[in-house]
């Protein structure tokens, strides 16, 4: 028997919240990558690692905020904590591979393409690994064509994010890129959810209801898991916002602060010859000069 699937159990609340988190993670992560690419004095591994962790946390948090609204009519839903945590590790790891590849190999077309494909496949793997953490009295089935479309969206979003990190230096440009990235990530998620179908295993089993699941709802299960990544995003935001180079806005980060060149000592000026009518000539000299001119 097929179950009735609803991905918007709380209306537009979960889609809007997941989109905002995706934008936040993308904006902060891209800013870290830009900081490492366009400033030679920055500690590249640290900024790239922070960027990868921030983008990965943003993607993972977006996914599970959206999953709070996931419902299957008539049955309870729970989540495997180990698979949920593993999906977070996968998200950070695959984004890290793409970010470090671009950071160290440069923003060439080949590097961006390879890193974008790998990262996009990793984002899709995070999504479907997170879906495998869903526990319910039934089996989840997927439409192959819709799954393929969601993977293509993930690859496109990852490639666009890495390209934006390598191309845009200004804050407003990166902000626009992060807004588009948020649309792509949430679009990928809901495209993947559109491929979901649930085949129920007959009548709901009483042991399934009264066992370890109790009366927990998806919100009560997922919200505690989301606290850590959300706090991390807030702390990453504090680090990025208080970085002095962020306030440069559209300034060129590839240039370090100009060094002061030692000013060469100017050669001493020779005293100018006194003209006949110089105001700076002593009075007695001027008077004698006038008398001489009259005598002539």
Counting every residue written for the chain, the total comes to: 296
How far apart CA 280 and CA 293 sit, in angstroms, is: 19
Domain that holds residue 229: 2-248
Q: What is the mean pLDDT of the chain?
A: 79
DSSP letter for each residue of 174-240? HHHHHHHHHHHHHHHHHHHHHTEEEEE-SSPPHHHHHSTTTT--HHHHHHHHHHHHHHHHHHHHHHH
In the structure, what pLDDT confidence band is assigned to residue 259 with cuts at 50, 70 and 90?
very low
Number of folded domains that form the chain: 1
Instruction: Please determine, for residue 293, whether its predicted confidence score (pLDDT) is greater than 70.
Output: no
254: helix, strand or coil: coil
Q: Does 265 fall in a domain?
A: no
In the structure, what pLDDT confidence band is assigned to residue 16 with cuts at 50, 70 and 90?
very high
pLDDT digits (tens, 9 = 90+) for 33-71: 877 777 666 788 898 999 999 999 999 999 999 999 998
Which pLDDT score is estimated for 198? 93
Q: Does 272 fall in a domain?
A: no
Q: Does 286 fall in a domain?
A: no
Q: Does 295 fall in a domain?
A: no
Which pLDDT score is estimated for 247? 46
Q: Does 164 fall in a domain?
A: yes
Q: Does 289 fall in a domain?
A: no
Q: Does 290 fall in a domain?
A: no
Q: Does 191 fall in a domain?
A: yes
DSSP letter for each residue of 86-125? HHHHHHHHHHHHHHHHHHHH-S-HHHHHHHHHHHHHHHHH
Which pLDDT score is estimated for 211? 37
pTM score, two decimals?
Answer: 0.76
């Amino acid at each position: 028997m097929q179950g009735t699937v609803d991905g918007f159990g709380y209306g537009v609340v979960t889609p809007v919240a997941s989109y905002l988190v995706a934008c936040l993670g993308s904006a902060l992560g891209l800013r870290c990558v830009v900081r490492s690419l366009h400033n030679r004095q920055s500690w590249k591994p640290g900024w790239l690692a922070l960027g990868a962790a921030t983008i990965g946390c943003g993607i993972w948090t977006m996914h599970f905020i959206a999953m709070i609204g996931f419902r299957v009519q008539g049955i309870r839903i729970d989540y495997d904590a180990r698979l949920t945590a593993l999906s977070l590790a996968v998200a950070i790891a695959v984004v890290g591979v793409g970010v470090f590849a671009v950071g160290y190999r440069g923003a060439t077309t080949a590097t961006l393409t390879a890193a974008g494909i790998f990262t996009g496949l990793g984002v899709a793997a995070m999504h479907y690994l997170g879906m495998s953490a869903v526990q319910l009295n039934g089996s989840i089935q997927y439409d192959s064509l819709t799954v393929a479309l969601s993977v293509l969206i993930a690859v496109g979003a990852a490639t666009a994010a890495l390209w934006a990190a390598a191309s845009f230096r200004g804050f407003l440009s990166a902000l626009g890129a992060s807004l588009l990235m948020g649309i792509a990530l949430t679009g990928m998620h809901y495209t993947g959810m559109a491929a979901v179908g649930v085949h129920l295993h007959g009548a709901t089993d009483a042991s399934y209801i009264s066992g370890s699941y109790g009366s927990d709802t998806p919100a009560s299960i997922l919200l505690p898991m989301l606290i850590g990544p959300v706090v991390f995003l807030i702390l990453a935001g504090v680090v990025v916002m208080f970085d002095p180079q962020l306030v440069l806005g559209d300034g060129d980060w590839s240039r370090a602060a100009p060094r002061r060149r030692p000013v060469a000592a100017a050669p001493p000026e020779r005293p100018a010859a006194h003209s006949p009518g110089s105001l700076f000539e002593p009075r007695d000299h001027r008077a004698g000069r006038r008398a001489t001119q009259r005598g002539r």
